[in-house]
Amino acid sequence: MKVTQHFPIQRELELLSLDQAREFYPRTKGFRFNYVIRIGSTERNSDLLSSESDRFFLKVIRAQSDLIVSTGATARTESLKASKYAPSLLLTEQNHLDCPATQLESVQPVFVSVPEQSFLNSNAFALGATTTPLSCWLTEFVTGKDYDCIVVESGLTVTREIINMELAAEFCLTVTNAEDSVTAISSADKFFDELGVKPELTQLLEADQTFLFRFDLRKRTQL
């Protein structure tokens, strides 16, 4: 894969493996958010927003994680499967959650915030309902466990709540179908305006009209 790094330095690269790409997405202690938007689209399903380059780097991000957090709504919309890289935590306010992650057998465990439920996946476990606020419940869940690098893939509502936690470290935003970096940066700015924060840019990559941003949430301004 041919990749252009625009920031922090300008250079051209040829990435042939996930291991090579780890340089650009090293393990980050804390919560790392992962989100994709597509210019000219209002779709919610990431499969329809994503690109080959985005999916490649998504594997890199997930392979660096200790826990992958998502929501029941996302799991249903995207027919989410359990990850082969790390355990999954699915957050939902519903009493039941049926999706491929809870139905299909998996090597990695799947934890679900629902009351007692028998899943077809024998490696899926009901944790009981979440408590309010979600950020406190989530902090308690990860405390004392070997979950140093946590990836969050959720909708904006849950993202806003979790992003205000002191453990929020990084936001990875992919913009697909962008003609140039100016268009991609403008879309990223609008996204964070809607999210209500302005984090510091740490990296920008480009691969085949896909722009991959990394932002430092520890250096952010609330809008």
Q: What pTM, to 2 d.p., does this model score?
A: 0.92
> 36 forms bridges with which residues in the sheet?
174
Residue at 9 is within a domain? no
Count of structural domains, the chain: 1
Asked if residue 49 has pLDDT above 80, the reply is no
What is the average pLDDT across 187-209?
Answer: 95
Name the residue range of residue 44's domain: 28-213
* 86 in Cβ contact with 59 (< 8 Å): no
Nearest one of 167, 180, 151 to 64, comparing CA atoms: 151
Asked if residue 115 has pLDDT above 70, the reply is yes
Residue at 14 is within a domain? no
* 216 in Cβ contact with 207 (< 8 Å): no
Residue at 47 is within a domain? yes
Residue at 16 is within a domain? no
Asked if residue 202 has pLDDT above 80, the reply is yes
Residue at 182 is within a domain? yes
What is the average pLDDT across 48-52?
Answer: 77
Query: Which residue is it, tokens 């896909």?
Result: 210
When the pLDDT of each residue in the chain is averaged and rounded to a whole number, the result is 91
What is the average pLDDT across 3-23?
Answer: 93
What is the average pLDDT across 92-100?
Answer: 92
Per-residue model confidence as pLDDT tens digits over 169-188: 999 999 999 989 999 999 99
Residue at 167 is within a domain? yes
Residue at 65 is within a domain? yes
Helix (H/G/I), strand (E/B), else coil: 149 = strand
What is the average pLDDT across 56-78?
Answer: 93
CA distance 118 to 193: 41
User: What's the CATH code of the domain at 166?
Assistant: 3.40.430.10
